[in-house]
């Protein structure tokens, strides 16, 4: 009888616990928007990128940063991103959704971290961070001295 109660108690605890476990799948619409931001960045579509920014961002300040940020990713179409994770939270400071994506290029990995802020009924970009990590072969080739003969002085 005692074992039966223990088993029933454990089943009830696991059942209730499963109700509070969030989905491991992120918000597909936010992921699509984050991917679009990367596309806008690479294609030089600054106005489209700025239109997605939250009211907390000064468009002029963001605009002057875009040329430098653009250097992290090679020109041309971006590959499909790999999701690295997401986070959703709500507080007295607002509702936010953050996600990280990684793009693999032949010579580097480009990681984007995007945080969306709920403004009224829509989600706007609060922050968009881009970092690059060179692949070992590309980094070694860049560090190697040139094989071309140099001209005499």
Residue 6: inside a domain: no
Residue 55: inside a domain: yes
pLDDT tier for residue 20 given thresholds of 50, 70 and 90:
very low
State how many domains the chain has: 1
The residue segments making up the domain with residue 124 are 26-136
Average pLDDT rounded to a whole number, residues 19-23:
50
CATH number, domain of 102, equals 3.10.450.50
pLDDT digits (tens, 9 = 90+) for 78-133: 899 999 999 999 999 899 999 999 999 999 999 999 999 999 999 999 999 999 99
Residue 148: inside a domain: no
Instruction: Give residues with Cβ within 8 angstroms of 114, minimum separation 6.
Output: 30, 33, 34, 37, 98, 99, 100, 101, 125, 127, 128, 129
Residue 141: inside a domain: no
Residue 150: inside a domain: no
Residue 153: inside a domain: no
Backbone angles phi, psi at 117, to 5 degrees: -120, 130
Residue 79: inside a domain: yes
Residue 34: inside a domain: yes
For 34, counting Cβ atoms within 10 Å of its Cβ (0-12 exposed, 13-18 middle, 19+ buried), the class is buried
């Amino acid at each position: 009888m005692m074992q039966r109660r223990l088993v029933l108690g454990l089943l009830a605890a696991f059942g209730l616990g499963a109700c509070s476990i969030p989905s491991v799948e992120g918000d597909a619409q936010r992921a699509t928007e984050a991917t679009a931001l990367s596309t806008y960045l690479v294609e030089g579509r600054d106005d489209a990128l700025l239109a997605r920014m939250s009211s907390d961002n000064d468009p002029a300040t963001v605009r002057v940063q875009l040329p430098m940020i653009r250097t992290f990713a090679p020109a041309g179409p971006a590959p499909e991103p790999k999701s690295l994770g997401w986070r959703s939270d709500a507080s007295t400071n607002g509702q936010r959704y953050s996600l990280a994506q990684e793009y693999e290029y032949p010579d580097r990995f480009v990681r984007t971290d995007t945080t969306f802020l709920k403004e009224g009924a829509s989600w706007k970009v609060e922050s968009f961070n881009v970092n690059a990590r060179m692949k070992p072969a590309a980094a070694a080739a860049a560090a190697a001295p040139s094989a071309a003969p140099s001209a005499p002085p």
